[in-house]
Amino acid sequence: MGKRDTKQRNISHLGKKEVGCREEQKISYQEEAGNTKPIQTIKNSDSSCEYKIDKEVMIDVSHMSHVYTDEMGNPVHALKDVDVTIYKGEFVAIIGTNGSGKSTLAKHFNVLLTPSEGTVKVLGMDTQDPAHIWDIRQHVGMVFQNPDNQIVAAVVEEDVAFGPENLGIEPSEIRRRVDEALKAVNMSQYALHAPHLLSGGQKQRIAIAGVLAMKPDCIILDEPTAMLDPRGRKEVLDTVRRLNKEEGITVVYITHFMEEAAVADRIVVMKNGVKLQEGTPRQIFEQVDTLKQLGLDVPVAAEVASELIKRGHALPKGIITNEELGDVLCR
Ligand SMILES: Nc1ncnc2c1ncn2[C@@H]1O[C@H](COP(=O)(O)OP(=O)(O)OP(=O)(O)O)[C@@H](O)[C@H]1O
Ligand SMILES: [Mg+2]
């Protein structure tokens, strides 16, 4: 798959000091007073030109509430006055206990739901405006928990072609997109296989390829690894990370696995339909006791480090990955 728009666009309109040196891009975060404001650093290979810009907004959720009606006709306030901004190129994890509103929030991002109050805008397009639904869904693809529910064809490559076919795209372009999408998820050699014979992790990667074939800017994954074994989980997470880092695809990743959330650029914590916190993984997982009181896990490494610090060991703060813990303990 070719480079994404995020890496190729002309950014002069964003008020840059200089244009034309965008070989390397990375998002850094200002970590001040619990606030995280993504800043994109752009520099050329010999660092002779470098500038910072505020990231472009991919999804903007403002004062959004969502009320379902249950079977008895009673209102269920699933989301209450939520404000969330997802910036282009970010990898944002959403965590929270069962029923905290994660899926409801994610379904607003590609107009499977619309707000009861407040607004959701995708690339500036209001999801309440029916004229934008088609456009938004082409920009934002969704991958769900159960890979079996997302496979529609009897042959892998036909499954991946399903989306672009529905867009009325011409056959040679569909062929190209299918090949690129399968390559991007490392499943080219399975193009002619029957999806139901694949492992869970492979099926999920086919589901991701199906979304990629639509050429989205952003992929929302709602617990994509919940039904997978550890190997499948790793395959899927590695694939999603690569798409984010190498293709510049914006990722919103809902998970109950804190080790997965730990690799995100930013984490949003939901509780009872409210956005409780957001911050870098370090900022969030540093608060081991608070998260545990909320009924949430923390990465094992963060918990071990926190226990060691409590017992008087002089460990640096902010350890969240096994590698970091290993490095510190082996010093
Ligand atoms: N279709 C629906 N009709 C009525 N209530 C619903 C519906 N879908 C979700 N809810 C309720 O809305 C609230 C938020 O649900 P949601 O599925 O968004 O939570 P979640 O954080 O994704 O949970 P989980 O971790 O279990 O997937 C819950 O109280 C849930 O019971
Ligand atoms: Mg859910």
Partners of residue 240 on adjacent β-strands: none
Q: Measured in whole angstroms, how far is the alpha carbon of residue 140 from the centre of its chain?
A: 11
Residue whose C-alpha is closest to residue 119's, from 78, 67, 80, 65: 65
Q: Are 201 and 233 in contact (CB under 8 A)?
A: yes
Nearest-CA residue for ligand 1 atom 31 is 99
pLDDT at 323: 87
DSSP-based helix, strand, coil % in the chain, nearest 5 = 40, 25, 35
255 within ligand 1 shell (Cβ under 6 A): no
Convert the pLDDT of each residue in 16-52 to its tens digit. 333 333 344 556 666 555 556 666 665 555 555 555 5
pLDDT at 7: 32
68 within ligand 1 shell (Cβ under 6 A): yes
pLDDT at 317: 83
In order of their start, the domains of the chain are 6-54 (no CATH), 87-111+140-278 (3.40.50.300), 283-329 (no CATH)
**Average pLDDT, rounded, for the chain:** 86
User: Which segments in the chain show pLDDT lower than 50?
Assistant: 1-24
Convert the pLDDT of each residue in 263-305 to its tens digit. 999 999 999 999 999 999 999 998 888 899 989 989 999 999 9
Tell me the pTM: 0.85
Nearest-CA residue for ligand 1 atom 28 is 99
In one-letter notation, the amino acid at residue 180 is: E
Nearest-CA residue for ligand 1 atom 29 is 99
Tell me the residues surrounding ligand 2 (ion) with CB < 5 Å. 103
Ligand 2 center–CA 326 separation, angstroms: 33
Ligand 2 center–CA 13 separation, angstroms: 38
Ligand 1 pocket test: pick from 79, 98, 104, 220 the residue with the most ligand atoms within 8 Å of its Cβ.
104
pLDDT at 15: 34
170 within ligand 1 shell (Cβ under 6 A): no
Long-range pairs, 324-327, Cβ under 8 A, ≥24: 325/301
What secondary structure, in 3-state letters, does 123-187 show?
A: CCEECCCHHHHHHHHHHEEEECCCHHHHCCCCCHHHHHHHHHHHCCCCHHHHHHHHHHHHHHCCC
First to last CA, the chain: 42
